[in-house]
Structure formats: C-alpha cells, structure tokens
A and B are shown apart, each in its own frame.
Chain A
C-alpha cells in the first residue's frame, strides 16, 4: 500500500470503576497505511470502540491510558493536550458514529452542522462554509441539496442522516476516517448503499478508514486488512483474504462459523461469554471458550506467530510443538479455497 500514517504501539487502557480497574485494552498494536481500510472486528466489549476513541482523544473521564503510544505524523497523540487534540479532531481524524438517529443535533440546521468543522478548522467564514457544506451534501448523495441544507435532522430518514453524518466527517478531508459500526443501526438495503458510498468517497478524498464492526459480512467488501479483537487484545490480523480463507485463531474460526454463507446449513454460536476484564485470565483469554484449548493456554499468553508476511495470529496452535488438530468443517472448506487462490496466484 505505501506510506504509514498511523502506528499504535502496545496500547494499554484501564477504566477506573468502583469494583476496581477494568483492563479494557491490553497491549494492542496495529498500523494504518495511506488509503487503505483496516477493519477491526470483535464482539461487544472487546475494546474496538475504546481503541478508536483513544485515537480521537475522546475517552471517558474514568479511562486512563497506562501505556503505549499512538504515533500520527511522527508525534504521539497520547501526549497531546486537549487543546491540541481539538485541532486534530474533525480535521485530520474524523469519526462516523453508530446511530444516525441520535448523532445529529435536533435543533440545528444540517447545513450549519456540516459547516461547523470548516469554520472551526479552516477559518472559513460562515457563508463560504455553507457553500462547501452544500457541495459535500451533494457528494454524499442527498437529493435537492440546495433546499434540504436548511432543514433539520428530523426531516431526514435514517439512511439520509447517516449520509449527513458522513458529510460532517469528510468535510475537512480528513486523513483518517474512523467508522464505528456505521451501518449497524440501518436497514440491510441502506447498509449496502452507505458502504458503497464510503468506498466511493474514500477514492475521491483519499482517506484511510478504520472500520469498526462486529459483522464480518460487512468487512469482506470493505476492508484491505482485518484485525480481530477479543477481550481487549488483538488475537489475529492479516489481509482480508487471509482472515476469511486462512484463519488460524480459534476465535476467528468461531466468528466465521457464526456468519451465514450461501453454503452453510446451520450457524454455530461461540459458547460461553468473554472473560471479566477486571481480572483477566493469565493465559490465552479465549481458552475458556476454546474447544481446542491446551494446558499451556491457561498458563501462558501465546505470542504472535507469523503465518505470512502480513498475517499473524496469537494462538499456541501455531507453535511448532502443538498437536495437529482439524479445524471445523467450514474452516477447512475455506482453507481449501485459500490454497486454490494461492495456487492460481503463483
């Protein structure tokens, strides 16, 4: 892909609660290249949103970054003051939120809401900012934009509102766009439209996207690379083909197994619940839910094993001494497709 624009290294975030410190993010590292889309996948509470909020400096008051760094343009975002972060937010790094029904101010005309970041960051006067807001409104596909720019959020449908939220995020042409489950609250047909729109705009604006989702189905058409998160850690990352067709971590297997495909006859849920991060388990956090778990899984946390130049997974199953096991049927089928893909590529 090319130029590296974001580097997250060994990020650790705790939440102070009455019950003690919740270790929400534990030793998370990833990077983002210019123009690519990185999907971060995981179930609720796996730390996806917390990770991205730390990129924006929008963590809750009781959150504390205990370690790590987030390098953006050669500088550590975590060391910046709130004032400096205000200069980055909405300008260099922008965000799309999950629920378009509640993320727009109900008492402000949408034109002004879109123009606000321009007025704040580019010192554009109101009239010019509104003119640019109109342009971006057309770009995100709102019909009759000249009239609708003076309307209020309640006059738009859910899909249209998400387009407006996207317009707000993109109006300053940010280098990084964080999309936090942008289609979860939308109908499936609207979902596809919004995803297409995001891809189209990514090409036009040349932005990089961090795409947060719990829905692997959405990832396939959207992302270049995928990081799978579990219990505050990244357990596997690789290119989208590697994750979909050659997954190595049992948790990734579970996720793929629970996703409907054309050939699947029944869907399998992952048994159990994620561990309590107040007191995370010593070894592999997935061990308790992992049918392939070995003794070492509950004793020592597995390091990342290299599968290919771009593909790493944190599971003891990849250790040379691990017993050979047969993954679930669906995964075997996928790995066969992967072998064919590789063969035809060579």
Chain B
C-alpha cells in the first residue's frame, strides 16, 4: 500500500507540472495584454509596466521564473486585484467557495441517494416516474435560472432567507440548493439505475431468503453495492463545486473564487489564471486519489488489486 501511494503521489506531481506548463504557454497565446487602457499609454509607460511585472523577459524565462516561484509557494502577484499576492487572493476567497461546494455536495448526494433508492425500490410505479421526471428537470434547468427563482420566491416573496451577500449560515442556504440540485439529479439517476440492477441480483434474493426485512436488505446489502458507480461521479463534481461556480457566486454576490477566475481571464491577469488553474488541478488529482482509495473501501474486490499493485 505504501509503495502504491508513493507511486500515485509521484504521478500527481508529474500531472501538476504538465498542467502548469501547458496552461502557462496557452495563456501566453491569448490575445491582448493585462492593461485595461493600453491605447492611452505611451510606449515608455508600457515598457516600464512590462519591466515591473517581468513581462519584458523572453517567455521561456518567464516560465522558468514562474515554476521556480511556484515550487517555493509563490504564485506571483495579481495584476488586477490591488496588486495582492495570488496566494493571498486564493486563500481569502477559497473558504466561501469550498463551504458552498461541500454543502451543495452533501445536500445533493445525500438527497440524491435517498431519492434514487426510493425510486428503485418502487420502480415502475408513480413514485419512480415522479423521481425520474424531477431528475431530468433538475439536470436540464440551468442552476442560475433556479437561483433566480429561489431568490424571487423564497427570499423576496416569503422572506425566509437573505436574498444575497455573505454572512452566516442562512446566507448559504439558497446558493447551496441552487448548486446542489445538479448533483442531486445526477446522483438520483445513478443510484436508481445501480440499485435496480442490484435489487434483481441473486444475493438480494438470498438476503430475502434469510428473512431480512426490506430496510435491512436495502441498508446492509443493496446500498453499498449501488454506491460503487457513484464514487467516480462524485469526485470531480466536488472539485468543480468547491473551486467555485462563477455564475452562482455572481448572482448571490458571494466573495468566492469563481467570480475571480472569470475576471482574471477577461483581463489577462496571468498570475491569477495560473493560480486558480493550479488550485483546480491540485484539487482534481487529490480527489482522484481519494476516489480510488474510497473505491477500495467500498468494494473489496478492488482493494485487493490495489495491494498487489
């Protein structure tokens, strides 16, 4: 297991390095400069600015400097956001995004498992049909539409939760629902399909022949086996939600990382683009590793192959 983990960590480092390299050069290919009012600047001013931000050096040297800095934990200084270090920008904004992402995932996955299981247990009845239709709606309605609807009806009309901004837990409820409905629908669909298969399997019949009741069969035998396909889905979803959903953060005025990412791309804020991309990439490779470990915990057949590796 140790050897396996070490190998995985080395691969992760390699992946991060490759992503950093590719992103760096792709980014430099983008048209435009980081300066918002370049046409009003004299060539002299542009030269001074370029010198100040290190943009006058050849691109390969900029790359070497960036990678060197990254290895020392220095992600550079943002061009846009009041010249703050990118690492500070990220760390001050990741909290809100991560909290929302985790809440949305928990909300979506837990409810999704329940809805999917109920649909599978009562398959081909009105319960199943209702769940399926709701899943399709949940999957196809964009979350910003839902966000606006929630703001209008729940906040404005009913006044149950704040309409926007970032404060206590009550501020997170509506964005959590808006973000969580996607994973909820997806999870419900996955669990429903998986569990229908599982419920038709021989070992469920054996569990019934043991005299177990419905709850015991679902809880002890069906659920765990239905969760296996879901694990792959949840990992990347979590990262995507944690690193911020730009639109939702905008709608609810949440000081998260997604909003910043969009702005940085629009303005060629190279260090911020790199920083957020690397954060996303790091989260993803980490989650993939966790996914594989969780796989092993849920499914003993995979655990053993992992050991032999």
- Across the interface, which residues of B come within 8 angstroms of A107, CB to CB? 224-225, 298-300
Q: Which of B208, B213, B220, B301 contacts A108 (CB 8 A)?
A: B220
| Cross-chain contact A105 with B216 (CB below 8 angstroms) | no
Q: Which of A83, A106, A165 contacts B206 (CB 8 A)?
A: A165
Determine if B29 is an interface residue (Cβ-Cβ < 8 Å): no
Binds A, one of B50-58, B105-113, B197-205, B282-290: B197-205
Q: Which of A87, A99, A102, A105 contacts B211 (CB 8 A)?
A: A87
Number of A residues, CB within 8 Å of B: 31
B198 nearest CB across to chain A (Å): 10
Determine if A240 is an interface residue (Cβ-Cβ < 8 Å): no
Distance, CA A56 to CA B208, complexed state (A) = 9
| Cross-chain contact B210 with A106 (CB below 8 angstroms) | no
Determine if B139 is an interface residue (Cβ-Cβ < 8 Å): no
B22 nearest CB across to chain A (Å): 39
- Across the interface, which residues of B come within 8 angstroms of A58, CB to CB? 205, 208-209
A68 nearest CB across to chain B (Å): 22
Determine if A117 is an interface residue (Cβ-Cβ < 8 Å): yes
Binds B, one of A89-97, A198-206, A227-235, A242-250: A89-97
B149 nearest CB across to chain A (Å): 39
Q: Which of B206, B212, B221, B225 contacts A120 (CB 8 A)?
A: B212
Distance, CA A147 to CA B78, complexed state (A) = 60
- Across the interface, which residues of A come within 8 angstroms of B298, CB to CB? 107
| Cross-chain contact B209 with A120 (CB below 8 angstroms) | no
Known: A105-B221, A106-B225, A107-B299. A89 touches B203 (CB 8 A): no
Give the interface size class of chain B. 20 to 34
| Cross-chain contact A102 with B201 (CB below 8 angstroms) | yes
| Cross-chain contact A106 with B301 (CB below 8 angstroms) | yes
Q: Which of A87, A88, A99, A152 contacts B300 (CB 8 A)?
A: A152
- Across the interface, which residues of A come within 8 angstroms of B203, CB to CB? 102-106
| Cross-chain contact A89 with B210 (CB below 8 angstroms) | yes
Determine if B293 is an interface residue (Cβ-Cβ < 8 Å): no
Chain B: CB-nearest residue to A103? B202
Query: What is the 8 Å Cβ interface bit string for chain A, positions 212-248, against chain B (1 contact, 0 not)?
Result: 0000000000000000000000000000000000000
Within 8 A of A (CB), among B262-309: 298-301, 304
Determine if A34 is an interface residue (Cβ-Cβ < 8 Å): no
Determine if B19 is an interface residue (Cβ-Cβ < 8 Å): no
Determine if A121 is an interface residue (Cβ-Cβ < 8 Å): yes
| Cross-chain contact A103 with B216 (CB below 8 angstroms) | no
| Cross-chain contact B209 with A56 (CB below 8 angstroms) | yes
Chain B: CB-nearest residue to A107? B224
Determine if B148 is an interface residue (Cβ-Cβ < 8 Å): no
Known: A105-B221, A120-B212. A152 touches B301 (CB 8 A): yes
B168 nearest CB across to chain A (Å): 40
Determine if A154 is an interface residue (Cβ-Cβ < 8 Å): yes
In terms of DSSP, what is the predominant structure of the interface of chain B?
helix
- Across the interface, which residues of A come within 8 angstroms of B221, CB to CB? 105, 108
Determine if A264 is an interface residue (Cβ-Cβ < 8 Å): no
Determine if A116 is an interface residue (Cβ-Cβ < 8 Å): yes
Query: What is the 8 Å Cβ interface bit string for chain A, positions 104-133, against chain B (1 contact, 0 not)?
Result: 111110000000110011000000000000
Known: A89-B211, A90-B210, A120-B211. A97 touches B202 (CB 8 A): yes
A162 nearest CB across to chain B (Å): 12
Determine if A268 is an interface residue (Cβ-Cβ < 8 Å): no
Known: A104-B203, A107-B299, A154-B301. A116 touches B225 (CB 8 A): no
| Cross-chain contact B201 with A116 (CB below 8 angstroms) | no
- Across the interface, which residues of A come within 8 angstroms of B225, CB to CB? 105-107
Chain A: CB-nearest residue to B210? A90
Determine if A44 is an interface residue (Cβ-Cβ < 8 Å): no
Distance, CA A85 to CA B210, complexed state (A) = 10
| Cross-chain contact B300 with A104 (CB below 8 angstroms) | no
Determine if B230 is an interface residue (Cβ-Cβ < 8 Å): no
Distance, CA A106 to CA B213, complexed state (A) = 20
B83 nearest CB across to chain A (Å): 54
Determine if B102 is an interface residue (Cβ-Cβ < 8 Å): no
Determine if B207 is an interface residue (Cβ-Cβ < 8 Å): yes
| Cross-chain contact A116 with B301 (CB below 8 angstroms) | no
Distance, CA A285 to CA B77, complexed state (A) = 88
A-B contact pairs, 29 of them (CB 8 A): A58-B205, A85-B211, A87-B211, A88-B211, A89-B209, A90-B210, A90-B211, A91-B211, A94-B209, A94-B210, A95-B209, A97-B206, A102-B201, A102-B203, A103-B206, A104-B206, A105-B207, A106-B203, A106-B225, A106-B301, A107-B225, A116-B207, A116-B210, A116-B212, A116-B220, A120-B210, A152-B300, A154-B304, A169-B209
Among all A-B residue pairs, the 4 with the closest Cβ atoms: A90-B211, A89-B211, A90-B210, A152-B300
Residues of A at the B interface (CB closer than 8 Å) are 56, 58, 83, 85-91, 94-95, 97, 99, 102-108, 116-117, 120-121, 152, 154-155, 165, 168-169
Given A97-B205, A120-B216, A152-B301; 16 other pairs, CB 8 A cutoff: A58-B208, A86-B212, A89-B208, A90-B210, A91-B211, A94-B209, A102-B201, A104-B206, A106-B299, A106-B300, A116-B207, A117-B210, A154-B301, A165-B206, A168-B210, A169-B209
Residues of B at the A interface (CB closer than 8 Å) are 201-203, 205-213, 216, 220-221, 224-225, 298-301, 304
